[in-house]
Amino acid sequence: MKKFPLLESVKQYHFEIKHLLVIFVILMFFQLSVALIQKLSLRNFLLKSQKWYQQDFAERLANLTATSMEMILETTARDRQILDEEAQKIMQAFNIILSQQLLQQHVQEVCILIGDKEQIAAIDNGHVLYSYLFEHPADLPPPDRDHSQAISMYRDLKDQIFATEQTHSLIQEEGTFHVFVPFVPKGEYFGALYMRSRPEFGFVTSGILTTTNETSLIFSGLIFFGLLAMFYISSYTVKERDEAQQLLFQERERQIEQQVHRQKEMQFTKRIYHTHHKAEKIMGFIKEDLRQLSLDNFETIKDRMSKYANFISRVIYDMKWYDPPLQTIRNPIFRTDVNDVLRFLVDNIFFRVAQRDHRFQIELDLDDTLPPVPINEFVIWEIFEPLIQNCVEHAGETNVKVSVKTRYLLEEAIARVYIEDNGAGIAPELLEKNEKGVKKIFLENMSTKKDKVNAGYGCFIAYEIASQRCGWTIDADNTGEGARFVVTIPFQSGQNSGKA
């Protein structure tokens, strides 16, 4: 089957609902931002276009008015006698042109400005204009309206208009245009036609912006509903994936539980095998004591067989549980003397073997001030017996000396049990720590024996019982003259240091 690299690279990422929601919000934010920027840009463009068009419209209207008046004068000869009827027509034409512009909504003022800078007059009446052009009176009557602003502005622009004979326009902030058009009938400069207007094209801009807003709104709505549909489909897909993933996790959890259960069963089985081997040895001691039983040694053998029997009972009890109840291990009713347990192990377990095999010796150096501990006696047996056995088995073949010492440190409220030998020591690789900080010698199946079947459980079991169930610590190292195990037993502050 053909694979697509891009598709395969995307498949490694898992998109959740929150990821799709973020993408959805970002896309909508960008769409609204683009719509807003487009609206502002279009608005600025329309305002500039409107301003330019308003100015062009105002100048064209003023030019048309001035041109119309010049055309009337072009058709009238000044060197001939003008009849009254013709004069009336000319004045009427002037009045029509001047007043007709005022009828438009956006034209606010129209007049003819004449004269020099010292004396400028404004003419807004056809009769006065006709009299000025054809009769040349000494004084002109006042205009019908106030044109003081136009006269003031014309005074500043007169020389420029006269020199260029071009239209000049000034713009106020409120959109009012002051247009000055040179008034040059028959090529002779008389003054300027002034027109103040305020063209209104806001409805065009407003209409375009409204249409743009509607288009943007429709477009944004389509994108919104499209993304909403995609979001719904993606959410549904992700929901199905999450459900399948949840089922997978549940199945995986069941598999892990089964695997842990099997591992516990295997560990439990190995632990049973290990303790069963020791129980067989104890049963052999019991049989031997029964054969040696007499009236002279009855009490001694009875006490010893009672200890053996209790240990066998503990072994059988451990066979029923993966994790025995804590109160059967640690309990205030237990007041066990660690020194007594160590003496019994050495005298009645290891020395009984040494009577048949003289290859090792065990020396005891016990601190009598060591207080009792609230731990079951046979649990302590299960801790120290494998450690002593390890020293016996791995120290060497002959002349093995094992030292067992106890020390109680009142100031630190702890006791330490030292188990040392004079053998070859512990292999360096077994003293390395794993990722949890536990030395490998205390891990399961870790052994230097060539035949590792059912090996590597003594130190492991001792470590598990001491650290997990009793709250003690075990350490192992080499002294330079052999191996050493150190068991640290903590006591509560103020605990009685005497024996029970």
DSSP-derived pairing of the beta strands 400-409 and 191-197: unpaired
The pair of three-digit structure tokens given for residue 122, joined into one six-digit string: 């404004």
DSSP-derived pairing of the beta strands 177-183 and 168-171: antiparallel
Instruction: Give the mean pLDDT of the chain.
Output: 78
Residue type, 64: L
Instruction: Find the mean pLDDT for residues 153-181.
Output: 83
Q: What is the pLDDT of residue 417?
A: 94
The pair of three-digit structure tokens given for residue 49, joined into one six-digit string: 């276009």
Residue 449 has pLDDT above 70, yes or no: no
Of 215, 230, 222, 206, the C-alpha closest to 35 is 215
Instruction: Find the mean pLDDT for residues 72-99.
Output: 74
Residue 361 has pLDDT above 90, yes or no: no
Q: What is the pLDDT of residue 485?
A: 93
Give me the count of residues in the chain.
500
DSSP state of 302: H
Highest mean pLDDT among 172-176, 362-366, 394-398: 362-366
C-alpha to C-alpha distance for 238 and 146, rounded to whole angstroms: 79
Q: What is each CA distance from 100 to 59, 60, 124, 127, 268, in whole angstroms?
A: 16, 15, 12, 16, 116
Q: What is each CA distance from 275 to 280, 344, 376, in whole angstroms?
A: 9, 18, 17
DSSP states along 334-395: --B-HHHHHHHHIIIIIHHHHTT-TTEEEEEE--TTPPPBSB-HHHHHHHHHHHHHHHHHHS
Are the C-beta atoms of residues 373 and 452 closer than 8 Å to each other? Answer: no
Q: Which residue has the higher pLDDT, 254 or 499?
A: 254
Are the C-beta atoms of residues 485 and 406 closer than 8 Å to each other? Answer: no
Task: Enumerate domains of the chain plus CATH numbers.
Answer: 20-200 (3.30.450), 331-490 (3.30.565.10)
The pair of three-digit structure tokens given for residue 154, joined into one six-digit string: 């014309």
Residue 247 has pLDDT above 50, yes or no: yes
Of 199, 177, 179, 187, the C-alpha closest to 63 is 179
Residue 499 has pLDDT above 50, yes or no: no
Q: What is each CA distance from 427 to 263, 417, 432, 433, 446, in whole angstroms?
A: 27, 22, 10, 13, 11
Residue 416 has pLDDT above 90, yes or no: yes
Q: Which residue has the higher pLDDT, 346 or 454?
A: 346
Q: What is the pLDDT of residue 432?
A: 87
Instruction: Find the mean pLDDT for residues 351-369.
Output: 75
Q: Record the pTM.
A: 0.48
Instruction: Find the mean pLDDT for residues 164-176.
Output: 81
Q: Which residue has the higher pLDDT, 105 or 245?
A: 245
Instruction: Find the mean pLDDT for residues 473-489.
Output: 90
pLDDT level of residue 497 (50, 70, 90 thresholds)? very low
Residue 6 has pLDDT above 80, yes or no: no
pLDDT level of residue 407 (50, 70, 90 thresholds)? very high
Residue 488 has pLDDT above 90, yes or no: yes
User: Under 8 Å CB-to-CB from 183, ≥6 apart: which residues?
Assistant: 66, 69, 70, 112, 114, 189, 190, 191, 192, 193
Q: Enumerate the β-bridge partners of residue 433.
A: 439
Instruction: Find the mean pLDDT for residues 342-361.
Output: 73
Instruction: Find the mean pLDDT for residues 347-376.
Output: 79
Backbone φ and ψ of 167, nearest 5°: -70, 135
Residue 374 has pLDDT above 80, yes or no: yes
Decide: helix, strand or coil at residue 474.
strand
